[in-house]
């Protein structure tokens, strides 16, 4: 537990962990729905539905505070983050069309490793040799899953890894925005940028949904909104260093939903790679904590 967490009441920290686990449950459930929708509709339409309904459900919550929440001190960074989330979502949904939910989730979990690597050129942060060793070991875990040259692995895995890179850039943007904007402002602009961009694209690939499909799309948007709100609540209740490792609970939910919804179970290589990625990411987090204490 971090030093900051140690100064908080244990019950408050426990609620922070609880809300992060709930957030991952909701967001992975949304991914499972996206995988279903991606078999029926073009990827841009699936992404459009997610963020458009996200905004529609969010509107009543923001109605009175919208002028305040819509105010940002760094609109360019907000737009950049929205674009990165859009590209990451496109890669994720594209991957979900072809590879199992658990494998997609594990590959996407490489994003913290990419954040660490990119924090040097983009944030001018110092990464020590032990942290670099953790990054290298983590990417060896990715190679266990992808196994370059093995025909059994679908090329969509490379697309998901690219999406993890886009997501990592969005996280770095979020770090910068955290110093100038309210978290709700960032969530709002992310959904707004994605919805507006996809509204311009989706008419060219539109497939008219049935009433039941509209309902499923609405559920995906609702899960997206509530998942992000739960994650925001988690970070309000406890320090990021305490709750962030529980992002990996998403792997458990992805395995469960993948099996129940699509009959998929991760193979031994995916499980081994997941363990390596999680272990290396937690090691990097531990080294970051140790360095901050020294500073």
Which pLDDT score, from 0 to 100, does residue 283 have? 81
Residue with the bigger pLDDT between 42 and 171: it is 42
pLDDT at 1 over 50: no
- At residue 148, does pLDDT exceed 70? no
Task: Give pLDDT, residue 3.
Answer: 47
For the cut 60, the answer to whether the pLDDT of residue 60 exceeds it is yes
N-to-C CA span, the chain: 18
Each residue's pLDDT tens digit, 232-281: 788 777 766 667 777 788 888 998 999 999 998 888 888 888 888 888 87
pTM: 0.84
């Amino acid at each position: 537990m971090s030093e900051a967490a140690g100064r908080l009441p244990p019950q408050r920290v426990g609620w922070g962990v609880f809300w992060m686990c709930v957030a991952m449950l909701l967001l992975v459930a949304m991914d499972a729905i996206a995988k279903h929708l991606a078999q029926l509709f073009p990827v841009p339409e699936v992404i459009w539905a997610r963020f458009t309904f996200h905004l529609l459900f969010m509107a009543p919550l923001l109605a009175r505070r919208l002028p305040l929440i819509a105010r940002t001190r760094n609109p360019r960074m907000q737009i950049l983050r929205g674009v990165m989330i859009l590209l990451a979502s496109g890669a994720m949904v594209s991957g979900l069309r072809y590879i199992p939910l658990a494998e997609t989730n594990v590959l996407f979990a490489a994003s913290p490793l990419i954040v660490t690597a990119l924090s040097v050129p983009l944030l001018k942060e110092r990464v020590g040799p032990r942290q670099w060793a953790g990054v290298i070991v983590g990417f060896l875990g990715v190679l266990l899953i992808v196994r370059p040259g093995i025909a059994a692995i679908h090329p969509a895995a490379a697309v998901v890894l690219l999406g993890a890179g886009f997501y990592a850039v969005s996280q770095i943007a979020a770090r910068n925005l955290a110093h100038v904007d309210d978290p709700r402002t960032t969530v709002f602009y992310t959904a707004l940028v994605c919805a507006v961009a996809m509204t311009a694209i989706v008419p060219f690939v539109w497939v008219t949904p049935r009433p039941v499909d509209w309902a499923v799309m609405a559920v995906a948007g609702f899960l997206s909104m509530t998942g992000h709100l739960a994650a925001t609540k988690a970070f309000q209740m406890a320090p990021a260093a305490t709750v962030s490792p529980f992002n990996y609970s998403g792997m458990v939910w992805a395995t469960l939903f993948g099996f129940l919804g699509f009959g998929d179970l991760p193979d031994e290589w995916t499980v081994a790679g997941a363990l390596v990625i999680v272990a290396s990411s937690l090691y990097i987090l531990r080294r970051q904590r140790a360095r901050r204490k020294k500073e």
